[in-house]
Amino acid sequence: MTAETMQTQDLTGRSIIAGESVTGAGRRVNGYNPATNEALEPEYSLIDEAQLATATSAAAEAFETFSQLDPETHAAFLEKVAENIEAAAEPLTERVMAETGLPQARVQGERGRTVNQLRLFASVIRQGDFRGTRWDTADPERKPLPKPDVRQRMIPLGPVAVFGASNFPLAFSVAGGDTASALAAGCPVVFKAHNAHPGTSEIVGTAITAAVRELGLHPGVFSLIYGPGASIGQALASDPAIKAVGFTGSRGAGISLMQAAAAREVPIPVYAEMSSINPVFFFNGLLEDTIAQGDQALTDLGQAYLSSVTGSSGQLCTAPGLVFVPSGAHGDAFLEAVADAAKPAPGQTMLTQSIAASWNEGVEQLSSQEGVALVGRGTDGAGENAPAPVVFQASTAAFRDNPVLHEEIFGAASLVIRYDSAGDLVSAAQNLEGQLTATLHLSESDHARAAPLIPVLEGKVGRILANGWPTGVEVNHSMVHGGPFPATSDSRSTSVGTRAIERFLRPVAYQNLPESLLPAPVKTENPWKLNRRVNGTITLAD
């Protein structure tokens, strides 16, 4: 069966281990339609640790050849994965919608993002700068000691374990950013599917497996496994063959993986994206200018905020869960617009019954806190997993003194903090945990008031925006999707954009090595036509 011919009814319910369809030795689970809570066929059998070891061993065997692929074959492999996913577009879209409740437009957009980032990494492989080649030439006449010939390149770490995200069944899943960047680095991937969308995972896993076969690569380059999150997830992070972990999910699960990886005889890096409430800061000048433009401009601003909160039922890691609005008439007018926008807003089906239950618990806890008041609430959607979106407000004093107001509520809920001065904003920002994003809504008259906030935010977030919304992450060469803990486990990295590849590489230097023993990227004749730094000067390939 190929990605081109697979239909929903062809799903096997089995893991794919080094190119082979494998029935798990453990219990069985189903995906569920969150709009109806009905089980979806087929059942998926979960593997045990012995079967996991087969996948990781195969990945270790594949590493020797996959890590040394020439650029053209390597890039063609990622392009073939993208092509195979596109060939399965119709059954894939159908299954994603059934397993997640996401609308067709969102699924199609996410599929486009997935294949586009695969092709972007293919272009990175061909261009080659990620290999970081450097050469300091020898000088045997240097006194008092001869200068050695030293060359450097970045090499892949080894097999990578990637965990599927609940909220991005394609773009942060089987062929998503972590997998794409690991494969681009030359690292085989053992992917643990999210049990909430097993059929989606199988369709995409089949597309990758077909590409491995079509390019004649070692089958251990990719495995797709289904297993219990606690036991198999921990075993995967602890397996000696695995050299790094990519994860997107809850703070608790991410920390658990970090602890498992740190407790190994040889610790490994875990790149976990975990928790963020993405503060948005409104300034008076911007609100004054908006109000001066008329009622429609203010209505549009309130609607834009609510749309960012409610998009994909608020289940986006960049959703604005915390918004700072000035006290006084301008802020009051803005919140009236927000309340008006919220009233007709329907609840959207959330990804799973458990996520909806967690959202309800978080909203109930927040609403019961002293000093927290309702700004606006929408209407419940169809089904029990589509709660009404909600916006609350509180004071900076309440925010300062109550840690509950700092907690993420994963879903369509947001908290507005009313502040009195620019000093209040700086103080509040200093008390924030690490975040993925921070957004400034300001006019030119606000620049002086906003300036002291910038260095504080640089220490707290990975991306600073102006006059926009944090939802919607562009995949390009400059993007940073990361931030200080607990937004991510390592603030030096990004999980989106071409720099994501750097997570799975390390430098190696070659000193006075004979030419015949040098790897291709650092040979004198530069057979891969790489840009390189020679004696400190960037030298472009011919």
Alpha helices in 186-267 (DSSP H): 198-214, 229-238, 251-262
Cβ partners under 8 Å of residue 525, min gap 6:
none
What does the pLDDT read at residue 1? Answer: 42
Whole-number Å distance between alpha carbons of 416 and 395: 8
Rounded (5°) CA angle 390-392-396:
155
Cβ partners under 8 Å of residue 529, min gap 6:
128, 541, 542
CA distances (Å), origin 53, targets 50, 190, 242? 5, 11, 10
Same fold, 14-274+494-503 and 280-466: no
DSSP sequence for 418-474: EESSHHHHHHHHHT---EEEEEEE--GGGHHHHTTHHHHHHTTEEEEEESS-S-S--
Tokens 């607990």 -> residue: 486
Tokens 């036991």 -> residue: 231
Please pick, among 79, 83, 273, 408, the residue that the annotation labels catalytic.
Answer: 273
The SS3 call for residue 366 is helix
Q: Respond yes or no: is residue 187 known to be catalytic.
A: no
Which residues of the chain fall below pLDDT 50?
1, 3-4
368-387 residues labelled b (16+ CB within 10 A) or e (exposed): eeeebeebbbbeebebbbbb
Cβ partners under 8 Å of residue 121, min gap 6:
78, 180, 181, 183, 184, 498, 501
What does the pLDDT read at residue 172? Answer: 95
Please pick, among 61, 99, 187, 317, the residue that the annotation labels catalytic.
Answer: 317
Burial class (CB in 10 A: 0-12, 13-18, 19+), 169: buried
In CATH terms, the superfamily for domain 280-466 is: Aldehyde Dehydrogenase; Chain A, domain 2 (3.40.309.10)
pTM for the model? 0.95
Domain ranges of the chain: 14-274+494-503, 280-466
What does the pLDDT read at residue 229? Answer: 78
Tokens 């915390």 -> residue: 322
Beta strands 390-395; 222-225: pairing state: unpaired
What does the pLDDT read at residue 9? Answer: 60
Q: Respond yes or no: is residue 202 known to be catalytic.
A: no
Does the domain at residues 14-274+494-503 carry the CATH identifier 3.40.605.10? yes
CB 417 within 8 A of CB 320: no
What does the pLDDT read at residue 3? Answer: 47
